[in-house]
Structure 1
Amino acid sequence: MINGSKRISQPLRWAMVGGGRDSQIGYIHRSAALRDQSFALVAGAFDLDPQRGRAFGIELGVDPERCYTDYRSLFAGEAGRPDGIQAVSVATPNGTHFAITKAALEAGLHVVCEKPLCFTLEEAQTLREIALSRNRIVGVTYGYAGHQLIEQAREMIAAGELGDIRMVHLQFAHGFHCEPVETQSQAAQWRVDPRLAGPSYVLGDVGTHPLYLSEVMLPELKIIRLLCTRQSFVKSRAPLEDNAYTLMEYEGGATGSVWSSAVNAGSMHGQKIRVIGSRASLEWWDERPNQLSFEVQGKPAQVLERGMGYLHPQALLDDRIGAGHPEGLFEAWANLYYRFALAMDAADRGDQQRLATLRYPDIHAGVEGVRWVERCVQSANGGGVWVDY
């Protein structure tokens, strides 16, 4: 269902912290947020180097007076303006997420934060308490959840087309860091530095992505305990892992596994989710995001295509172009940013009924991602033992 006028009534006045000129993720944030005219970029603290950040902000069309030196001056400066910002995106290294998000919420702002939300479950729960008490929206950029066929999988599972769920196999295992690329790349250096990345590398960086997809597809499936082992195949990365295996047990008897890796040599992305039931299985691969494999025992395998009329209405809501034309990462992120905008607008209007109808990676998803990483690290550091979730 293509909607060429997709937008909210009034664009949200929006800023960025981080996401400067050389930031790949910053470009993705802006491309997604601005696509449906739901946000207007009016301010920012784009770079650790204030002069470089100011120059970049001006290139983006931001008023020089609203290109700030850091997030503190950004929030203070905008608070004093009648046209001050309503929302901010945090596109900075992991170690800064908690402080910036907390300050933004306390300034009365909605937040879109890169994952992981923060380092510890205690920090994550603090952010949730502030967000809920102030009626502020926190969106977490699990961007792959914006692909439409994730919704199709959710609806098919809910309708019982797979039968009883028995196994969930998750992986995000690329090969781009199979060598110590961080010695040559500043963008990679912070990811393997515990001071900046936190208690994990690939568990938090890639493993939480398919984990969230499983939460969307299988909202009733709850982890009761897990076991994790992790390795640093590039030894200089220790104590942070560049490869990890996690086993999970769910309520009701289903089991799951997650392979998180940056050293799967030769793999471009390797993010897949396969859900196996008593009658059939589903599989989605982010390198082929417009297709969903559906395999019924005893019947020929099917491939469901994005945009086709046989899909569930929920899987057609975010279509931006007709079937056969491939949609990709920027469209998926734009779908999430549009949902973030709808939620922020509803929160500002006090429309709790509308908020209840919106699904997006929210503060609760952010908390669960932090919880999962914390439990995985606890298990691995204990020698690969089962720990209660």
Structure 2
Amino acid sequence: MIDGQRKTGAAIRWGMVGGGRGSQIGYIHRAAATRDRYFDMVAGAFDLDPARGRAFGTDLGLDPARCYADYRAMFAAESARPDGIRGVSIATPNNTHYEISKAALLAGIHVICEKPLTFTTAEALDLQRIARDKGLIVGVTYGYSGYQMIEEAARLVADGTLGEIRLVNLQFAHGFHNEAVEEANPAIRWRVDPKFAGPSYVLGDLATHPLYLAEVICPDLRIRRLMCARQSFIASRAPLEDNAVTLMEYEGGAFGTLWTSAVNAGAMHSQRVRIVGSKASVEWWDEHPNQLSLEIQGQPPRLLDRGMGYLHPEALADDRISGGHPEGLFEAWANLYERFALAIEAHDDGAPERVAGLRYPGVEAGIEGVRWVENCVRSADQGGIWVDYR
């Protein structure tokens, strides 16, 4: 159980790029990073407007002198300080992730980045190389993977409860963008602009979340080839899609589907992960994240609840309060930030083997998400053909 006892030494001095006033995700980064005192925010470059960013940082209680005009100034100044930041979270539009992450790594600063990590697999592999050479970590905030019941699903697969995995059925299909809402909302507008979002909209923005959850639950599955069709139901979003369906063939014979959409009118999130084996199935729904459906052939269906003693110990390790009480997205993100902190400390101590078995979305997860999107776009833009994955 997580009870506030820190598993590292001193809190990690930490900064942010982006995530300023009006940001959709800045607050959850700050709340998750500081919930268990693993990180101490001491610096930031929060806004393209330096004055606005400085005012926001001051409102957060930071020293105005450490509220920087841009990330370059922050990395230069902080890397020269004996008390400078050791890690940075990047919460900016997609097109900046690679250059900011690279600059941070070259300055000797650990990186926690929003997804997609980069626009291209080549860029992501470059970050991996730099991080390896510098002895640094790159984390990617696939926040849903911090939920306790995702770990339970993974343990059920690992212990053979499901049998041989046959089907992976994934979706993340909300309805909030069923009209051209970006026309009146700048926070959404960049997501449908290729200059800022990259080669996709919902494939990169939504679909990579359940894709990573499937990787956590079924780590031995490898995609052999895929086929993708994507549509722009709001015509002004073309060439970026607001709906897509992807079929995946895995090595060994398993088959997967992933439907992702921003125009599923009336739906809230509708992020679901269903794993079907030869003996049983599990299903997780992010709108009811504290429960996991387990259906064993020939037995009554079961609804497993967070925090209960019948769960695997590895899942119970993520508990923050006794069973029956709901835990939410902030707790899941805090679980991730705890793991990022453990990994950062181990690498700073020159002992990365200390966290060899620690599960967190690192640079490999970032690479895989970018590679998957690239292949989906390649398939869809050739008329929805099957393409080899690697």
TM-score, reference length from structure 1: 0.99
TM-score, reference length from structure 2: 0.99
**Superposition misfits of 4+ residues, deviation over 2 angstroms:** 1-4
1:157 partnered with 2:157: yes
- Percentage identity across paired residues of the two chains: 67
| Cα shift at 1:2 | 4.1
Q: Distance in 2 between matches of 1:305 and 1:84?
A: 42
Q: What are the Cα deviations for residues 234-254 of structure 1, in whole angstroms up to 9, with x where unaligned?
A: 000000000000000001100
Q: Which residue of 2 aligns with 1:261?
A: 261
- The answer on whether the counterparts of 2:200 and 2:377 sit within 8 Å (CA) in structure 1 is yes
Q: Which residue of 2 aligns with 1:221?
A: 221
| Cα shift at 1:133 | 1.2
Matches within 5 A, 1:197-276: 197-276=197-276
User: Quick check: 319-328 or 1-10, which moved more?
Assistant: 1-10
Q: Distance in 2 between matches of 1:80 and 1:151?
A: 40
1:338 partnered with 2:352: no
SS in 1 for 2:115: coil
The aligned length equals 389
| Cα shift at 1:4 | 3.0
Q: Distance in 2 between matches of 1:74 and 1:2?
A: 33
Q: Distance in 2 between matches of 1:216 and 1:279?
A: 20
SS in 2 for 1:24: coil
| Cα shift at 1:289 | 0.4
Q: Distance in 1 between matches of 2:302 and 2:354?
A: 36
Amino acid at match of 1:309: G
Q: Which residue of 1 aligns with 2:105?
A: 105
1:45 partnered with 2:42: no
Q: Which residue of 1 aligns with 2:374?
A: 374
| Cα shift at 1:81 | 1.0
Q: Which residue of 2 aligns with 1:85?
A: 85
- The answer on whether the counterparts of 1:176 and 1:263 sit within 8 Å (CA) in structure 2 is yes
Q: Which residue of 2 aligns with 1:190?
A: 190
Q: What are the Cα deviations for residues 77-108 of structure 1, in whole angstroms up to 9, with x where unaligned?
A: 11221111100000000000000000000000
- The answer on whether the counterparts of 1:7 and 1:36 sit within 8 Å (CA) in structure 2 is no
Q: Which residue of 2 aligns with 1:300?
A: 300
Gaps of 5+ in 2: none
SS in 2 for 1:341: helix
Amino acid at match of 2:216: V
* RMSD over equivalenced CA pairs, Å: 0.7
Amino acid at match of 2:168: V
- The answer on whether the counterparts of 2:95 and 2:195 sit within 8 Å (CA) in structure 1 is yes
Gaps of 5+ in 1: none
- The answer on whether the counterparts of 2:53 and 2:67 sit within 8 Å (CA) in structure 1 is yes
Amino acid at match of 1:368: E
- The answer on whether the counterparts of 2:116 and 2:370 sit within 8 Å (CA) in structure 1 is yes
Q: Which residue of 1 aligns with 2:12?
A: 12
Q: Distance in 1 between matches of 2:321 and 2:144?
A: 18
- The answer on whether the counterparts of 2:54 and 2:68 sit within 8 Å (CA) in structure 1 is yes
- The answer on whether the counterparts of 1:7 and 1:37 sit within 8 Å (CA) in structure 2 is no
Matches within 5 A, 1:49-64: 49-64=49-64
Q: Distance in 1 between matches of 2:4 and 2:196?
A: 41
